[in-house]
A and B are shown apart, each in its own frame.
Chain A
């Protein structure tokens, strides 16, 4: 019966999406990301690690893309052809990365391995001059021109990951969320391969064995399972917080109020670049922003009256119908 329940719901949502949107959700959690305000500080990502029991996998596994950041900041360079920054030769800088350092200064070789964690970045320490090339301001990266794109699960209403799951471990909830049921997942990784945003993360190892050595395991969030090897996972829009807010509202016989709770990333963002709320509530901040920027759900191309409005959804042309709207960064011309 329960499988029947899943299949019925599933086909209902799928069909709804094909017919221009399923609108019988209880809630429809959505987000707005203002790229103008994003400073790329990664606080949201750190908050997500703390809230959702995400393991820190270490450099070697990170290099193999086996990391688990449900919320990640993607970095793009605006003007890659820009000339490298030339500091004046009289500037009080000890290390130089340019091929032609001023007289009396040594040139550094970039791309040497190293990390902050190893404590090797103290000026004057062993290997500092080689290592600073990777992380220092004048390493392989430009001095300016970076723009940041926070990427969390877009909670698509026509999610490409859902129909390919062989065991219905990922499905659409009545809250309009794209859910992942860990104990149902068998780890086929079809969903991850089908996600155009690459926002699903697979547990290749039993990370819990070494990610939280004693006494760090005490900081694990009890409202969330610690996932084991062989399970796919992804951003849940902090479903444990949604659940608490809904439970409280139900106990008090009222509706969930806008701004009553927020996901960990939204709560942490120091510049307020992220806004979270219910898209079904016409008075919520999120739906006001969506309306203002004339972005509508269930469309593959937005029909904006004013071309100057900044709202857009990532890869919406693929008909995934994501719940996250991004506000384009205003650039100097």
Chain B
């Protein structure tokens, strides 16, 4: 039986049965204040030094992909660096979708019996790329480069390890390593960008981003 504390019903076990009295109100308020202070002092992305992660949540529509690509198995279980597949992120505007040959580089031998890999092999043998759909899209009048953001937050960032690049990616893409196919969980609108640019002292000229 695991015991958790609920703000509303005091100490409860997982089944919801109360096993202790509710704490007095002033203590709850104090705990709330302490919790807020702790949250403020230690941002969710404590692994990225010299950076204030952007704030904002968004519930994007689920985008159906030709193959339900499991980001969680690749990035979380097998700890593959984001930039291994999205290799263009460090040197161009777009992060890029890896070519099927990159997938097949591993999946010629790894997990060939899984249904998703069989589907991938089918594409490979047909010499046809899977038509991946874009999830994180910004309007046409917005100029965004992955290259410069990675330079600022990863490569030119004192004390930042390249292995932890997924924490930087998560600023705008959310915890992709907990997802299968990518979902849009950040708003990616002007307020979202502008607040982050303000907090991290990014450029603030209209024509830096608008085209």
Stretch at the interface among A85-93, A188-196, A221-229, A286-294: A221-229
Q: Is the CB of B141 within 8 A of A1?
A: no
Stretch at the interface among B19-27, B47-55, B62-70, B199-207: B199-207
| Cβ of A177 under 8 Å from chain B | yes
**Residues of B within 8 Å of A, CB-based: how many?**
18
| Cβ of B151 under 8 Å from chain A | yes
| Cβ of B210 under 8 Å from chain A | yes
Q: Which chain B residue shows the least CB distance to A179?
A: B207
Question: A177–B205 Cα gap in the complex (Å)?
Answer: 12
Q: Is the CB of B210 within 8 A of A182?
A: yes
| Cβ of B145 under 8 Å from chain A | yes
Q: Is the CB of A177 within 8 A of B207?
A: yes
| Cβ of A2 under 8 Å from chain B | yes
> Contacts A182-B141, A251-B147; is A224 near B211 (CB within 8 Å)?
yes
Q: Is the CB of B211 within 8 A of A247?
A: no
Give the chain A neighbours of B140 by CB distance below 8 A: 225-226
Q: Which chain B residue shows the least CB distance to A226?
A: B140
Question: A2–B206 Cα gap in the complex (Å)?
Answer: 9
Q: Which chain B residue shows the least CB distance to A183?
A: B141
Q: Is the CB of B205 within 8 A of A173?
A: yes
Give the chain A neighbours of B141 by CB distance below 8 A: 182-183, 225
- Name the residue among B147, B148, B151, B210 with the largest chain A CB count within 10 angstroms: B210
Q: Which chain B residue shows the least CB distance to A177?
A: B207
Question: A247–B144 Cα gap in the complex (Å)?
Answer: 11
Q: Is the CB of B204 within 8 A of A2?
A: yes
Q: Is the CB of B194 within 8 A of A239?
A: no
- The residue that A181 contacts in the complex, of B139, B151, B206, with Cβ under 8 A, is B206
Classify chain A's interface size: 20 to 34
- How many residue pairs between the two chains, A and B, have CB atoms under 8 Å in the bound complex? 50
Give the chain B neighbours of A184 by CB distance below 8 A: 206, 210
Give the chain B neighbours of A179 by CB distance below 8 A: 206-207
The distance from the CB of A13 to the nearest CB of chain B, in whole angstroms, is 12
Question: A5–B207 Cα gap in the complex (Å)?
Answer: 13
Q: Is the CB of A247 within 8 A of B147?
A: yes
Within 8 A of A (CB), among B158-203: 190, 194, 198
Give the chain B neighbours of A6 by CB distance below 8 A: 206
Q: Is the CB of A250 within 8 A of B205?
A: no
The distance from the CB of B90 to the nearest CB of chain A, in whole angstroms, is 10
The distance from the CB of A172 to the nearest CB of chain B, in whole angstroms, is 10
- The residue that B207 contacts in the complex, of A223, A226, A239, A247, with Cβ under 8 A, is A239
Q: Is the CB of A223 within 8 A of B148?
A: no
> Contacts A243-B143, A247-B148, A250-B148; is A181 near B207 (CB within 8 Å)?
yes
Q: Which chain B residue shows the least CB distance to A222?
A: B140
Q: How does the 8 Å CB contact mask read for B123-165 relative to A, with 1 for contact and 0 for none?
A: 0000000000000000111010101100100000000000000
Give the chain A neighbours of B148 by CB distance below 8 A: 247, 250-251
B contacts, CB < 8 Å to A? 139-141, 143, 145, 147-148, 151, 190, 194, 198, 204-208, 210-211
9 CB-based A-B contacts, threshold 8 Å: A6-B206, A175-B207, A181-B206, A181-B210, A223-B143, A225-B139, A226-B140, A240-B143, A243-B143
Minimum-distance CB pairs A-B, first 7: A225-B141, A179-B207, A181-B206, A225-B140, A183-B141, A181-B210, A173-B207
Known A9-B205, A243-B143, A247-B148; 5 more pairs at CB < 8 Å: A2-B194, A2-B204, A177-B207, A184-B206, A251-B147
A contacts, CB < 8 Å to B? 1-2, 5-6, 9, 171, 173-175, 177, 179, 181-184, 223-226, 239-240, 243, 247, 250-251
